Amino acid sequence: MFVERLLNKFGVLPYLRRRWRDDQQRSGEKVEARFDRHMATVATRLEKLDSLPRAPADTGERLEALEQSLRALSRKANRLEAALRFNAEHRERRYGSHVFDEPCVATHVAVAIDRAPLDTDPMAHLVVDGLLPRETYDALLDAIPPAELFSDKDDRKQNFKLHAADAAPEWTMTALSFMEDVIIPRMIVPGLLQKFDAHVRATYEKKYGATRGSHVAALPHLATAGRLMLRRPGYHLEPHLDPDRVVVTCLIYFARPGDDESYGTSFYRIDGDPVIDRRNTFFPRNEGYSCDLVKTAPFRPNTAVAFVNAGGAHGAGIPTSAPAGTERYAYQFYVSPEPGALAAVIPSAVGSVE
């Protein structure tokens, strides 16, 4: 309080606040300008659509193409509007720099992964409680973008990919960039590879033989196919194994207060040991194998679920009977060998998973 009064007395604090608000306003104005440009484009396209002759049959394809373009522009305008609204709602929220302090977060993540018990039934897996410092988790939870910014092909199953987004709020970009560029590659991936070392090595040796498998296990591994997932009632994913290139799968739960814990990740024991060319996602039941439920990792705040992609299957779902408005948010990524390095050891290896 003394420091704050002193800064006020000399006019430093008001000056800093003005600068911060100016920066926020300029950022908001950029989004507003993009929104206005897209709305102007939509209006122009509408005018062109109205001016086209309706009678000639050869204009049908042109009309359809223009209408599709117009719908795409309208969706993009809606996403920009949602991003602008999100920015306005978050303009006065503040998080201290410590929430994204790399050494502090790294220490916490390392301890959380190290203390998580390793279970091997039906496959090697971890349930990591308290993955992140609480304030870091809250900051990331607060950065989840509006639903309008997620893919719109299937209302029950939507994804948001930061690197592919045509619109994203400022805080979403800041927070998710730190998670994708720092937390996952520098903290979680090394921690999981160390924890699963013996099981990853055994998986590769079974697949490629002792010598080459040992070489693959020693290769650099990367996080791939990262996406923030939004799931709603009616979503169902049968027990499956991820593509063969994936050695570890990880989900970071972004559960909110009041979310149902039963909507977690389920693990299944497969009756048999399928030997297949698993270039894509493999569903054992489609090939005649039975899958028996072993456990479901609860969908709890600030929890990560990670597992070796071999031996057992996993699945998830939200029943249609779930309360209206139910939403489940989680971030998923895969851990795979660096493609070029893997190709040097295993020339026939499948391409990268994205």
Q: How many CB atoms lie within 10 A of CB 63?
A: 13
Question: What's the pLDDT tens digit per position in 160-197?
Answer: 999 888 788 889 999 999 999 999 999 999 999 999 99
Distance, in Å, from the CA atom of 131 to the CA atom of 81, rounded to the nearest integer, reads: 33
The rounded distance, in Å, linking the Cα atoms of 151 and 145 is: 12
Token look-up 């039975």 returns 290
Contact, 353 vs 245, CB < 8 A?
yes
Report whether pLDDT(334) > 70: yes
Question: Lowest mean pLDDT: which of 76-85, 250-259, 266-275?
Answer: 76-85
Quote the CA–CA distance of 339 and 353 in Å, as a whole number.
10
Sign of the torsion formed by the C-alpha atoms of 21, 254, 125 and 111: positive
What is the strand order of the sheet 312-317 is part of?
236-240, 312-317, 265-270, 291-297
pLDDT tens digits for range 283-321: 999 999 999 999 999 999 999 999 999 999 999 999 999
pLDDT > 90? residue 20: no
Calculate the alpha carbon distances from 280 to 72, 242, 244, 277, 351 in Å.
Answer: 30, 7, 7, 9, 11
Report the distance separating Cα 150 and Cα 159, nearest Å: 5
Residue 7 has a pLDDT of 39
Distance from C-alpha of 164 to C-alpha of 180, rounded to nearest angstrom: 13
Q: What is the CATH number of domain 100-345?
A: 2.60.120.620
What is the rounded CA–CA span in Å between residue 282 and residue 39? Answer: 44
